[in-house]
Amino acid sequence: MARVLITGAAGFLGSHLCDRFIAEGFDVVGMDNLITGDLKNIEHLFKLKQFEFYEHDVSKFIHVPGKLDYILHFASPASPIDYLKIPIQTLKVGSLGTHNCLGLALEKGARILVASTSEVYGDPHVHPQTEEYWGNVNPVGPRGVYDEAKRFQEAMTMAYHTFHGLETRIVRIFNTYGPRMRLNDGRVLPAFIGQALRGEDLTVFGDGSQTRSFCYVDDLVEGIYRLLMSDYAQPVNVGNPDEITIGDFAEEIIKLTGTNQKVIYKDLPKDDPTQRQPDITKAREILGWEPKFSRAEGLKLTYEYFKSLPEDELYKKEH
């Protein structure tokens, strides 16, 4: 039985990855310090003998007894309000946490995949973003703590690949959404749906002309699974190229929820990227992957999840 360590297992993406690897017949070791995650996301796995969980900060030395065939390093705050609140931990988990995971992979002879991000492209001058583009990041701006941690993560991972011959994979994830996002994590989709469900106006930052391209979580997980099983060590974009302005996205959420809320405009956060769309030619050609869920389908499934939550979740303050 192959055994995989998933860091960030109690988070949004980590928990879906745990489900997928369990379904594929793997033994799964989840690890998380619960700083932005929630055990509720994986509580259904605790009864399974194929699943173990360690509560641990991966920025500190990691010890996992027994063999490991694969490591997926997903631990890191991911939403702007999370990483602005804990900037040093964010830098540490991308750098020290990645170093610890790479060292563990070397010790165990495991293949490792690290979760990078479209944020390595910063506020991009190339559109759509190809993997060859080096990016436009402000290292000392507020988002620098996340973007530079991830850029360092990629550099460190590539160094282990070229210097130690470690089997490494790097996925550059574009905005992904779905069930188990935290309603109060500040990301645009849970923010808008939470506002609609509470009967509040939707807060569009700036004039709403900035764009994002949203990928449903099941599509992302499939892309990650294929990348891990491929033999390709260079970074690969995984995301849905269907681009939309945030203003239009707010209108879509208002229609979806049938709430007739208004849109109100707030200041655009500093260094907020003006446009973002993945070029997924590599994922198509190398992994035979492309997204299957339209935004309409994915949003419907996500809205059903948020509607099914107990009402007090709607009024929970930030983590």
For residues 45-74, one letter each, b for 16 or more C-beta atoms within 10 angstroms of the residue's C-beta and e for the rest, the string is: beeeeebbbbebbbbeebebeeebebbbbb
Given a contact cutoff of 8 angstroms between Cβ atoms, the answer to whether 94 and 152 are in contact is yes
For ligand UDP, the closer of residues 37 and 208 by Cβ is: 208
Q: How near is the Cβ of 306 to ligand UDP at its closest, in Å?
A: 15
Q: Which member of 83, 121, 146, 225 is catalytic?
A: 146
Among ligand UDP, ligand NAD, none, what binds residue 35 when CB lies within 5 to 8 Å by partner kind? ligand NAD
Q: Which stretch binds ligand NAD (CB under 6 A): 9-17, 244-252, 277-285, 304-312?
A: 9-17
| One residue of 269, 271, 290, 301 binding ligand UDP per CB under 6 A | 269
Given a contact cutoff of 8 angstroms between Cβ atoms, the answer to whether 262 and 204 are in contact is no
Please give the Cα distance from 116 to 237 (Å, whole number): 9
120 binds ligand NAD (CB under 6 A): no
| One residue of 76, 129, 157, 175 binding ligand UDP per CB under 6 A | 175
Spatial CB neighbours of 110, under 8 Å, sequence gap ≥ 6 = 5, 68, 69, 70, 71, 104, 167
Contact letters for ligand UDP, residues 129-168 (x by CB under 6 A): ----------------------------------------
* Residue 146 is a catalytic residue: yes
User: Any idea which residue has 């932005």 for tokens?
Assistant: 36
Amino acid at 81: I
Footprint on residues 177-206 left by ligand UDP (CB under 6 A):
187-188, 191, 203-205
Please give the Cα distance from 121 to 159 (Å, whole number): 20
Sign of the dihedral defined by the CA atoms of residues 187, 15, 169, 291, in that order = negative
Spatial CB neighbours of 83, under 8 Å, sequence gap ≥ 6 = 76, 77, 90, 143, 145, 146
Footprint on residues 144-203 left by ligand NAD (CB under 6 A):
173, 175-176
| Residues engaged in binding ligand NAD (CB under 6 A) | 7-8, 10-14, 32-37, 57-59, 74-78, 93, 97, 115, 117, 173, 175-176
Any idea which residues carry the catalytic annotation? 146
Binding site for ligand UDP (CB under 6 A): 79-80, 175, 187-188, 191, 203-205, 210, 212, 246, 269, 272
